[in-house]
Amino acid sequence: MTKLNKKRVKWLVDQVAKHDKKPQEVACVYNVTGRRVQQLVQEYRETKKYPELKKDRRPRTALSNEQEKRIEECYKETLLTPRLLYFELKRRGYYAPKNKIYCFMKNKGWIWDEPAKKKKRKRADMNGSIRDLWFMLIITAQRRMTPLVSSGSMMLVVEYCLVASSIAPMQ
């Protein structure tokens, strides 16, 4: 489904151009980016006509009956997952996109979503340079040396007693 049509484009442009609202404020209404709203408003201001969507844009395609038949046939023989089924079909000389194989198999009930695999991975709060600095401090504390660490343009001399006292509670 497309997010915008003529009526929605007109509303977005009017809100920004005539009612002085910010593009980011109105963009969230139709789930588009603020930048896209800016582009539509700019085109309106240059031409004094509301922007129109392209009629010849690429349509969404579905699997053909033959592709569906091949997927069913191959799945019943091998019981593979969508990704591996893609390669099996390719090996046999047939083509079907991975994402469409996945959607087809999901609609048939042969596979299901695993929410744990869809979770966003947690990242460390520290960036690489701080993590590297911390690692160097730990190594030097273990060697009982006073480290000289460069962090960008700033030079830090860390005393052993400071490092040892901050590491001791962790052990």
For residue 151, the number of C-alpha atoms closer than 13 Å in the C-beta half-sphere is 16
Q: How far is CA 131 from the centre of its chain?
A: 25
pLDDT in tens, 87-96: 999 999 999 9
Residue 49 has pLDDT above 70, yes or no: yes
Q: Which amino acid is located at 69 in the chain?
A: K
Which has the minimum average pLDDT: 12-21, 56-65, 90-99, 141-150?
A: 141-150
Flag whether pLDDT at 38 surpasses 90. Answer: yes
Task: Convert the pLDDT of each residue in 61-115 to its tens digit.
Answer: 899 999 999 999 999 999 999 999 999 999 999 999 999 999 999 999 999 988 8
Cα-based angle 35, 40, 45 (whole degrees, multiple of 5): 120
Model pTM score: 0.46
Say if residues 139 and 129 touch (Cβ distance below 8 Å): no
